[in-house]
Chains A and B, each alone.
Chain A
Amino acid sequence: MAEFIQYLINGLSQGGTYALIALGYTMVFGILQLINFAHGEVYMLGAFSGLYTSKLAGPQLSAFFNKIFNGAADQMSTPAAICTAIVIIMVAMVVCALVGFCVERLAYRPLRSSPRINLLITAVGVSLFFQYSGQIIFGSDPKAYPDLFENLESWTFGSDENLLVINPLQVFVFVTAIVLMLILRHIIFHTRLGRAMRAVSFNHDLASLMGIPTDRVIAATFMLGSALAGAAGVMVGMTYPKVEPLMGSLPGLKAFCAAVLGGIGNVTGAVLGSFILGLAEALLSGYGTPTYKDALAFAILIFILLIKPSGLLGVHRTEKV
């Protein structure tokens, strides 16, 4: 039983990071019908922004928060570690939002009226551009993340064969992912920007007839999606805890599979698909063989495309005349 709960927790935490990446895929697809293959690289850049932020400002930040919470700068406490992590995540989110903005502005917008295949090829190009310039700039060897949570003890429950160990970092990742998703949900369904995003995703011309500046809404969508991927990058960096320039491609593809599983273009579906994938992977590694873990996402992708190509929550949109 404890084992099962352990896998569940691993799966939920992993699913949370997939969801943050998958949301960006699905939002961009919803608004442009484009699979933004460079999205995994935005996640990688998020991890690196987090890495450099923690290296440059991490000690000062945790000293600052420790002082607030404990009165002493050198005493590490959970709230201080959490606050430090949140600041680092926010920095990475801002950096990634800017990256997303630039990618859209420089690579995709000039191709707005060209055939969709051109956009897709460009997306692959942007992805390779980031992977290899990342190797030049950051170096291709994996870099270790400073451990913010090193002094924190894991929570243990039960004993011996029923021992359950909960890593506070996993809980932090899961909770942060959920909070970010709730914020996104609020933006999409209860703000002017969200209403505009939904309008543009329905029909660009129609939205512009309402006076909605569609180009700006598309840029905002890229920024939101990229910021979420950036947050995922930092959190994976903290958990794993190594980052390297090619780290984005596999989680990127998996998150894409999760988005398709949930129904691409559907925000709730992306979250659902991601948690299913995260849990399935954790259970497979636990009870089956971890060797095939990475293949699972693609098996699911093939399966869902055969059974229900529109995804779990996707509706097949027919063109009405």
Chain B
Amino acid sequence: MNTQNNTILSFKDVNVFYGIIPALHGVSFEVKKGQIVTLVGANGAGKSTTLRAISGLVKPKSGEILFKGENIVGLPAHTIVRKRLCQAPEGRGIFLNLTVEENMDLGAWAAPDKSAYKANMEHGYQLFPRLKERRTQLAGTLSGGEQQMLAMARALMGQPELLLLDEPSLGLAPQIIEKIFEIITDINKTGMTIVLVEQNALQALQIAHYGIVLETGTIKTHGLAADLLKSDEIRKAYLGD
């Protein structure tokens, strides 16, 4: 099998600095089509920076980020999302001053196929029926879990080929986290490739195919999620055993 065709995203020796402080140092990895790849690690390990580099919010100092074979380093964020690479940003980055429906609509701003707009909106509401009930409300009035659902539904409006989820479980109650992870799995089953950044390493590795462990800006270890879950070292350091 040609692995090149199967790879949707690859990092090649990426270095990111915030001022003079290194945030990512020589990070290389690949994401295969149709998989859930999770980036785990402690606070400040470089997980969010990795996503910011992919979506163009920070520019790596060196290295290549290939999406569908094309180097996207240096492209402005608003052009990268047009390549069908959509993100549900961390801290439930939604527009609190806009209604639920307006948020969804903005998610479709860069969608290549405008004719699918209605169907996508319906699909999003089907995944998260609560959002449909609240579609005329300001997003700021939603609960934390609903805001996270909105962030994900909105990212899907952009018809992504690669979906980036930044800490979807952050600050949510355990039952809601479970529900969110279930939906992530469902979305993946429709063939969507997902990069999932999580501090909640145990739950993330349970639904992921592949795991990458970051520590202070470098990749500490990586492997099949199932293998990582079995590794003593990982269990001790990240899974609280």
Any B CB within 8 A of the CB of A202 = yes
Any A CB within 8 A of the CB of B15 = no
Q: Which residues of B contact A211 (CB under 8 A)?
A: 78-79, 81-82, 109-110, 158
Q: How far is the CA of A172 from the CA of B76 in the complex (A)?
A: 46
Q: Which residues of B contact A212 (CB under 8 A)?
A: 78, 106, 109
Q: Which residues of A contact B154 (CB under 8 A)?
A: 210
Q: Which of B75-116 contact A (CB under 8 A)?
A: 76-79, 81-82, 86-87, 89, 91, 93-98, 102, 105-107, 109-110
Q: Which residues of B contact A207 (CB under 8 A)?
A: 106
Contact (A199, B78) CB under 8 Å given A209-B55, A210-B109, A211-B158: no
- Size range of the interface on B? 20 to 34
Any B CB within 8 A of the CB of A205 = yes
Contact (A203, B106) CB under 8 Å given A198-B98, A209-B87, A211-B158: no
Q: Establish whether residues B89 and A206, one from each chain, have CB atoms under 8 Å apart when the complex forms.
A: yes
Contact (A195, B87) CB under 8 Å given A208-B78, A211-B158: no
Q: How far is the CA of A83 from the CA of B77 in the complex (A)?
A: 45
Q: Which residues of A contact B107 (CB under 8 A)?
A: 210
Interface string of A226-254 (1 = CB under 8 A from B): 00000000000000000000000000000
Q: Which residues of A contact B95 (CB under 8 A)?
A: 198-199, 202-203, 206
Q: Establish whether residues A208 and B109, one from each chain, have CB atoms under 8 Å apart when the complex forms.
A: no
Q: Which of B205-237 contact A (CB under 8 A)?
A: none
In-complex Cβ contact of A199 among B77, B98, B110 (8 A)? B98
Q: How far is the CA of A288 from the CA of B89 in the complex (A)?
A: 57
Q: Establish whether residues B78 and A195, one from each chain, have CB atoms under 8 Å apart when the complex forms.
A: no
Q: How far is the CA of A211 from the CA of B97 in the complex (A)?
A: 18
> Would you give the shortest CB distance from A160 to chain B, in whole angstroms?
54
Q: Which residues of A contact B94 (CB under 8 A)?
A: 206
> Would you give the shortest CB distance from B86 to chain A, in whole angstroms?
8
User: Which of chain B's residues has its CB closest to A217's CB?
Assistant: B78
Any A CB within 8 A of the CB of B57 = yes
Q: How far is the CA of A210 from the CA of B107 in the complex (A)?
A: 6
Q: Which residues of A contact B106 (CB under 8 A)?
A: 195-196, 199, 207, 210, 212
Interface string of A196-224 (1 = CB under 8 A from B): 10110111011111111110000000000
Number of A residues near B (Cβ < 8 Å) is 19
User: Which of chain A's residues has its CB closest to B83's CB?
Assistant: A211
Any B CB within 8 A of the CB of A56 = no
Q: Establish whether residues B57 and A208, one from each chain, have CB atoms under 8 Å apart when the complex forms.
A: yes
Contact (A209, B91) CB under 8 Å given A195-B98, A195-B102, A195-B105: no
How many cross-chain pairs have Cβ atoms below 8 Å apart between A and B? 65
> Would you give the shortest CB distance from A279 to chain B, in whole angstroms?
29
In-complex Cβ contact of A205 among B57, B86, B109, B110 (8 A)? B57
Q: Which residues of B contact A209 (CB under 8 A)?
A: 55, 57, 77, 81, 86-87, 89, 93
Q: Establish whether residues B96 and A202, one from each chain, have CB atoms under 8 Å apart when the complex forms.
A: yes
Q: Establish whether residues B97 and A208, one from each chain, have CB atoms under 8 Å apart when the complex forms.
A: no
In-complex Cβ contact of B78 among A203, A213, A321 (8 A)? A213
Most buried by B among A196, A201, A210, A212: A210
Q: Establish whether residues B158 and A202, one from each chain, have CB atoms under 8 Å apart when the complex forms.
A: no
Q: Which of B103-138 contact A (CB under 8 A)?
A: 105-107, 109-110
User: Which of chain B's residues has its CB closest to A216's CB?
Assistant: B78
Q: How far is the CA of A320 from the CA of B107 in the complex (A)?
A: 22
Interfacial residues, chain A to chain B (CB-CB below 8 A):
195-196, 198-199, 201-203, 205-214, 320-321
A sample of 12 inter-chain contacts (CB < 8 A) reads A195-B102, A196-B106, A196-B109, A198-B102, A199-B98, A203-B95, A209-B57, A210-B78, A210-B158, A211-B158, A213-B76, A320-B91
Q: 10 shortest A-B CB distances, which residue pairs?
A: A211-B110, A208-B77, A211-B81, A211-B109, A208-B78, A210-B106, A210-B109, A202-B95, A211-B78, A206-B93
Q: With contacts A209-B55, A210-B109 known, what are 16 further pairs, Cβ within 8 A?
A: A195-B98, A195-B105, A198-B97, A198-B98, A199-B98, A203-B93, A206-B89, A208-B57, A208-B78, A209-B87, A210-B78, A211-B78, A211-B79, A211-B81, A211-B110, A212-B109
